[in-house]
Amino acid sequence: MLLYLRLLKESFAFAINALTNNKLRTFLSLLGVTIGIFSIIAVLAAVDSLDRKIKADMNKVDKNTMYLKRFSFAPTDIPAWRREQFPDVTYDEYQYLKDNVASSEYMAYQMFTNAETLTYEKKTATGINMIPTSHEFIDIQKEELDKGRFYNESESNRGSAVIVLGYDVAETLFGDDNPIDKKIRVYGRRFTVIGVLKKVGSGGMGMGSNDTAAIFPVNMMRNMYGDNNDFMTPIIIIKPKQGADAEATKADITQKLRLYRGIKASEGDNFMIDIISSFTEFIDQIIGVLNMVGWIISGFSLLVGGFGIANIMFVSVKERTNIIGIQKSLGAKNHFILFQFLFEAVILSLIGGLIGILMVKGAAAIASSIAGFDFVLSFGNIMLGFSISTFIGLVAGILPARSASKLDPVEAIRSGM
């Protein structure tokens, strides 16, 4: 055991010597490993961070929650020309389903609409995500309030001019002042601020926080603009009761809406229902594809890096042929010589991998500060980087190490004379 520890120490010394004595050659040879490790670990870290953020954001909503609308969030077999003919869901359909779907715990009517600018006195908040929705939204989305309250059923049904602001919006408009009962202006009208949501942080892929949103009764929007406008797309959000089967609830909604719309048995549905759990599976497929693409792209750099390590080791064997001969003449076994050069190849590859991982860590810190999104370099990805580096070193170093171990001691000594 002590012999192999000494062997490892000597191999490390030879590797450092190769780095210091032949800086340019070693740098160019290790560049492939460094870039390869940087590429694959950067891609994996970015994808893992994105996946973690999306899952955390989606966990705010029950996985059985479903969205009823005329379009689909996920890929579908229904051709685009047919989907374009689907009618929007209506407020009357929302009320009908709410009264007739027994397995539904909460059902909310919401509209997707354009971002707007909110003003308070001389202060403005631009690009605010406007969310006109019914009062059940707060129960489905599990949003928590920092100040004030959410609007109730009566205010929702009447379309009262009340509004709940995201944390960042309230901070922009009011700073340290209490925003409750203050009047802000949007859509050319005055709204009374009745609540502020707790700060959550940035979200991912549209499933994130409402820090930069403003939520108000959907009937206020309907009273102002009616139900048929190009800049508004209505959806119905359904949260099944605890323990209810999501697919059974979906089937019940499908049956009742087909009946309400008078769709014949021979005709297909003219609406789409997406369940969050299905959307999660779709996200997992995307994550898998991104990881695969990252591995393929990085594989070319790792292949080049492997050739670079092999090149260093063949040159090292050539330069130290005389030393190998002396070692063998003094009784060094073939496997001792083989392990000596193999360890050296692995150490060189690990140095290239370490540089690549440090580059990922620096890039993650820069990206996090610029994008406001946490790119996390996990311990698992770090260990994966070192594992790949070790494997590249073993594969690249095995041929040079074998050639060194099989040298004839007499010929080896003579070649150095």
Which pLDDT band, with edges at 50, 70 and 90, does 126 fall under? Answer: very high
In the predicted model, is pLDDT for residue 116 greater than 90?
A: yes
Average pLDDT score over the chain:
83
Residues 266-281, mean pLDDT to the nearest whole number: 82
In the predicted model, is pLDDT for residue 207 greater than 50?
A: no
How far apart (Å, rounded) are the C-alpha atoms in residues 115 and 133?
Answer: 15
Which of 305, 291, 351, 313 is CA-nearest to residue 35?
305
Residues 132-142, mean pLDDT to the nearest whole number: 91
Token couple for 278: 């299905």
How far apart (Å, rounded) are the C-alpha atoms in residues 378 and 384?
Answer: 10
pLDDT number for residue 374: 73
Taking CB atoms within 8 Å and a gap of at least 24, the contacts of 265-269 are 268/78
Residue 133, phi-psi category: left (phi > 0), alpha (psi -120 to 50), beta (remainder): beta
For residue 79, the 8-state DSSP code is -
In the predicted model, is pLDDT for residue 316 greater than 80?
A: no
Token couple for 90: 């209506």
**Up-side HSE of residue 325: CA atoms within 13 Å toward CB?**
15
Q: Which of 73-77, 328-332, 404-408 has the highest mean pLDDT?
A: 404-408
How far apart (Å, rounded) are the C-alpha atoms in residues 205 and 276?
Answer: 14
DSSP secondary structure of 212-234: TEEEEEHHHHHHHH-S--TTEEE
DSSP secondary structure of 130-169: EEEE-TTHHHHHT--EEEE----HHHHHHT-SEEEE-HHH
How far, CA to CA in Å, does 145 sit from each of 120, 141, 150?
21, 12, 8
pLDDT number for residue 206: 40
List residues bridging with 214 in a β-sheet.
130, 165
pLDDT number for residue 37: 85
In the predicted model, is pLDDT for residue 225 greater than 80?
A: yes
SS3 395: helix
Which H helix or E strand runs over 269? none
Residues 238-250, mean pLDDT to the nearest whole number: 88
Q: Above pLDDT 90, what percent of the chain?
A: 33
Q: Taking the model in full, what pTM does it have?
A: 0.65
Q: What is the pLDDT of residues 148-184, one digit of tens each?
A: 999 999 999 999 999 999 999 999 999 989 999 999 9
Q: What is the pLDDT of residues 325-380, one digit of tens each?
A: 777 777 767 777 777 778 778 888 888 889 888 988 888 888 777 766 677 788 88
List residues bridging with 116 in a β-sheet.
128
Q: Where are the beta strands (DSSP E) in 247-374?
A: 272-275
Q: What is the pLDDT of residues 282-315, one digit of tens each?
A: 777 777 887 788 778 777 777 877 888 888 778 7
**Up-side HSE of residue 334: CA atoms within 13 Å toward CB?**
7
Which H helix or E strand runs over 303? helix 276-319
How far apart (Å, rounded) are the C-alpha atoms in residues 244 and 230?
Answer: 36
Residues 113-141, mean pLDDT to the nearest whole number: 93
- pLDDT top residue among 79 and 89: 89
β-strand pairing of 189-197 with 162-165: parallel
Count of residues for the chain? 417
pLDDT number for residue 202: 57
pLDDT number for residue 205: 39
**Count of other CB atoms within 10 angstroms of residue 54:** 22
How far apart (Å, rounded) are the C-alpha atoms in residues 36 and 28?
Answer: 13
Burial environment of residue 78 by CB neighbours within 10 A (0 to 12, 13 to 18, 19 or more)? middle
pLDDT number for residue 308: 80
In the predicted model, is pLDDT for residue 58 greater than 70?
A: no
Which pLDDT band, with edges at 50, 70 and 90, does 204 fall under? Answer: very low
